[in-house]
Amino acid sequence: MDRDGALGRALEALDDATSHQDLSTAIHMLRDDYGLTNITYRGFRLVGIDKIQTTMIISTSDPEWFLQYDARELSRIDPIVDRARNSPLPLDWDDIDRRSKSARHYFSEMMRFKIGDRGLSMTISPPNRPPGLFTFIASELSGSEWQSLRRRCQADMMFLGQHVHYHAQTIGQIRQADDLLTERGRRCLELVLNGHKPGSIAKLLGLSIHTVRMHLRHVQKRLDCHTLPEAIGRAMELGILKNAHAVPAARSPSYGIGLLGR
């Protein structure tokens, strides 16, 4: 395996991703380049103090597995997710006690769906961000073969898992944010960023100045911001203002109380 080439290709694919389908394509390429059976990323959100809820899954595994996982409530006997999430170190599946009936059943189901029986699950817990879990999986390897594969892949997978998590969360936020704003509201905000005041925006869009002010107030409310500068910053952070080109500082409007005036 050309490790440097594989790592570079993976980073380029992840940086170019604009949808979860793009991320899926990237991890399929990653799986093949590193000779793995499957790769799975799970994004979570906290529900209460100590509970989590899966918000997204991006995986090379058979989608039917995840449908069965939910339909049959396999999370009740899953020995991996909760333990991996609460482990300060990556969880090697070889360290999981499989002697119980439920554990044996769970791993037999994973093999039935060709998921794999050996894996390393790594928790991703960035500060002030939702957590995630990134897992690379192999199948039908001896103990020594698995340990060799793990040593070869672990550092790269820990690094790439962080990138997958970042891009998955960012894409998810952008999609949610796009749903927050109307196209007209986004366009009004974009024109403010480009130096236009409400009177000018009204003429450009064929609206009344009252309607423009209404759109801008709505944008602030939907983005949970108290001021337009704050709303602009938030929209840029989330990637909503994709085509905006900020004007030079000398021409920038004064983002003060009078911004909604003519």
Quick: pLDDT tens for 175-188: 555 566 788 888 99
Architecture of domain 181-260: Orthogonal Bundle (1.10)
Q: Looking at residue 246, what is its pLDDT?
A: 41
pLDDT of residue 41 exceeding 70:
yes
Tell me which of 56-70, 195-209, 236-250 is least confident. 236-250
Looking at the predicted structure, is the pLDDT value of residue 258 above 80? no
- Please give the average per-residue pLDDT across 44-53, as a whole number: 70
Within 13 Å of residue 99, how many CA atoms lie on the same side as its CB?
A: 2
Query: Where does the pLDDT of residue 18 fall: very low under 50, low under 70, confident under 90, or very high at 90 and above?
Result: confident
Please say whether the beta carbons of 14 and 164 come within 8 A. yes
In the chain, list all ranges with CATH 3.30.450.80: 3-177
* pLDDT cut 90: percent of the chain above it: 58
Q: Where in the chain is the domain with CATH 1.10.10.10?
A: 181-260
Closest CA to 123 of 155, 165, 78: 165
pLDDT over 50 at 80, yes or no: yes
Look at residue 48 in the predicted model and tell me its pLDDT: 60
Q: Which of 105-109, 135-139, 152-156, 225-229 has the lowest mean pLDDT?
A: 225-229
> And the tokens for 121?
């699950």
Superfamily of domain 3-177: Transcription factor LuxR-like, autoinducer-binding domain (3.30.450.80)
| Amino acid making up residue 145 | E
Whose structure tokens read 């709303």? 231
- pTM, 2 dp: 0.68
Cite the DSSP H helix spans in the chain: 3-16, 20-34, 63-71, 81-85, 101-112, 143-180, 183-193, 198-205, 209-222, 228-237
Task: Give the pLDDT of residue 162.
Answer: 95
